Amino acid sequence: MGSSQAAVSFLTNLARSAFELGVAATALSSSLYIVDGGQRAILFDRFRGILDDTVGEGTHFLIPWVQKPYIFDIRTRPHTFSSISGTKDLQMVNLTLCVLSRPEIGKLTVIVKNLGLEYDEKVLPSIGNEVLKAVVAQFNADQLLTDRSQVSALVHDSLIRRAKDFNIVLDDVAITHLSYGSEFSRAVEQKQVAQQEAERSKFVVMKAEQERRAAIIRAEGESGAAKLISDATASTGMGLIELRRIEASREIASTIFTHSLKPVEKKGSSKGGERGQRVGERLHQTPGCSSTEINSIRHEFVVKDVLHPQSERIYEFLFSLTTQLECLVFTYDWAMCEHEFCARQLPVFLSTLAVVGWVKSGKLTHKRNWMQKLLFWKELSTLWKAGTLKAARQIARRSRKKLILQILSSNWAVPVRAGFNKGHPCINAKVNTGKMASYKELPRTAQIRLVSSHQEVYEPCDDSFALVDALLADRSNLLEHHPSLCIEIGCGSGYVITSLALILGQEGYGVNYFATDINPHAVEVTRKTMEAHGVGAELVVTDIAAGLEERLAGSVDVMVVNPPYVPTPEDEVGVEGITSSWAGGENGRSVIDKILPVADRLLSEKGWLYMVTLTANNPSDICQQMRKKGYGSKIVVQRSTEEESLHIIKFWRDFDIGKDEPNQSASGFIGSLLTHIPLFSFWRGTNSDNKC
């Protein structure tokens, strides 16, 4: 019993102590308040009101239930508000104002007494609108833009003064947005349009005045020229008229050679028919040949059915052109030639006369005869360009080409030989016979000096020379192409990539060159060759372009490839040493088929690919594969040797690949013909030459 009473007494004392402790803790908590950094506090006393003292940061005591703290944030805070104000010229302007404000610390008690804790929301919008309207009303609408700094300064000063009356400090004032009404914006736009129209009218008047003066000066010049010509004719005879006739003949021939014509489309295409008709009409109207002679030649050709009866319109153009050139050669005074035109167009005339002679003699009755004579003419034409008529005759005798010998010995060659026999200075002029021209117009890149060699490195041969000749033939297009990155896959001795860099020359300044080869000896020889000729490239020892595909994807503008194309057993493909430079596996296609998808990934949208192929590689199948990937193709150079027949094919991304399908009227024999005659290389156009 005694122990039970002791326990109850203990618990009672414990509860009393806990209660007293809780009351003491509550009283202590109510007696403390905390002021954080960036804040200030003032005390409200229930008996004395707002105390004058301002309390800083820290923990402070107060009398519970008698005093109450008011906490102020004295840090700078942003406030944004908008206002629609009227300008001096009664235009409405929408402005947005941003201010950075804070209370004045020494006046916190006044702020609480007069404005309360939300002083900024009560004061700033009202005084801001007041100041904006007062300042904007002092300016016209256009002055708000031209004198914006002055407007901002006035708003800043006025607003600071007004805020100071309310014990508010403004650290910054800025106009963040200013816009006009839609009507004013339209008026400004119409004003600008009117001003431009006025300026244009002034220009039209000035242009008309200048044209009037030019017409007067032109008329005076023509009158004076006519008088001079009349006086010269009266005193010296018809020499001036004869000179004008020669110059007119030169312009006519130049137009015929350089004018770009596209192949006639198949039946059913009105566009191709109209174009062919216009070409025929222009040739018939050209002085020097009658339409009767042209039609008689065409009739004789078609009746004999020498080649393809369905290509009558193409042959009509061909025979009209050759007959016209024949007449031009007969009427042109070559001995009096004092222009570079003589030497520049001579090979074209000779090629044309050869074709005319073969046709008129009736010798051209089979496609093979055409090809043999055309290929043979290439060698003779080279000698003619150099003026070595005697050497050309000797070759003709050795080869028993009686028809060619007759042409070289006939009267057709007399007007041409006159210029050579007299040692005319035009013999040394540069030769340029069109798009498939000889590369005599450039320094012979084939004479690049190889400063280094290695027994395991493939040295330049016929395929390398043919590839460089293709680049030379396409040089004008390459310069217009403006490539920024060129690469050669399988550089070997460096002959091709060095030639490409020299072809582009100074006009290709800024071009980056890459070259790869699986043979490290080839890369070293290429480096020495390029350094010897003052050019450089990034050389990489790798298989095709492994390790570069991600880096160069879609950025290569020109790619040249002389791949291993010789048909060999598959186990020879990719072996170490010089064998890898020619071993192409079955049909010579093993390496080529690996290169094509890599080229597709590396070439840019305007990228070109020049590739050497062999007849055994089935070039038509290669072109078809690339066509499925969206590439167009054409044969730039086709060259036959005693051992092989090479084709240098050019590929490019053709975004209209589906649209060219029907236009194949110039394929087959005509395609081969136009490949070998430089005169007619322009017939097919730049986008369809020698298509595969």
Q: For the residues of 619-637, what is the DSSP string, one character each?
A: HHHHHHHHHHTTEEEEEEE
pLDDT value at position 692? 67
pLDDT value at position 18? 79
User: What single-letter amino acid sits at 408?
Assistant: L
With contact defined as beta carbons under 8 Å apart, do 33 and 3 qualify? no
The DSSP call for residue 47 is: T
| Calpha distance 394→295 (Å, rounded) | 37
Q: Any bridge partners for residue 67, and if so which?
A: 45
Half-sphere exposure of residue 241: CA atoms within 13 angstroms, side-chain side: 9
Per domain, the residue ranges of the chain are 2-73, 77-180, 185-237, 240-428, 445-656
Half-sphere exposure of residue 432: CA atoms within 13 angstroms, side-chain side: 14
Tokens in use for 554? 């879609």
Q: Which strands, in side-by-side order, build the sheet including 92-103?
A: 77-86, 92-103, 168-180
Q: Which residues contact 684 (CB under 8 A, 6 or more apart)?
A: 262, 263, 666, 671, 674, 690, 691
Burial profile 357-378: b = 16 or more Cβ within 10 angstroms, e = fewer:
bbbeeeebeeeeebbebbebbe
CB atoms within 10 A of CB 649: 23
User: CA 520 → CA 515, 517, 524, 539, distances in Å?
Assistant: 12, 7, 6, 10
pTM > 0.85: yes or no: no
Q: At what angle do helices 402-409 and 389-399 cross, to 10 degrees?
A: 160
Determine the topology of domain 445-656 in CATH. Answer: Rossmann fold (3.40.50)
Cα 655–Cα 656–Cα 659 angle in degrees, nearest 5 = 165
With contact defined as beta carbons under 8 Å apart, do 395 and 380 qualify? yes
Q: At what angle do helices 462-473 and 495-504 cross, to 10 degrees?
A: 20
Query: Domain 77-180 in CATH: superfamily?
Result: Band 7 domain (3.30.479.30)
Tokens in use for 469? 């000749």
pLDDT value at position 378? 52
Radius of gyration of the chain (CA): 46
| Calpha distance 35→57 (Å, rounded) | 5
3-state SS assignment for residue 517? strand
User: Counting every residue, how long is the chain?
Assistant: 692
CB atoms within 10 A of CB 325: 24
| Calpha distance 249→229 (Å, rounded) | 20
pLDDT mean values, one per 10 residues, the chain (692 residues): 75 77 70 82 81 81 79 86 83 87 85 82 87 88 82 89 88 85 73 79 87 87 79 72 72 58 40 41 41 42 38 49 51 42 47 51 44 50 49 47 43 33 31 32 49 77 87 89 92 90 76 92 90 89 89 93 86 74 82 92 94 90 91 89 79 72 41 41 42 64
Q: Which residue has the tokens 């804070």?
A: 102
pLDDT value at position 669? 38
Cα 368–Cα 374–Cα 376 angle in degrees, nearest 5 = 100
pLDDT value at position 667? 40
Q: Which residues contact 256 (CB under 8 A, 6 or more apart)?
A: 286, 321, 324, 325
In this chain, the answer to whether the domains covering 77-180 and 445-656 adopt an identical fold is: no
| Calpha distance 613→633 (Å, rounded) | 13
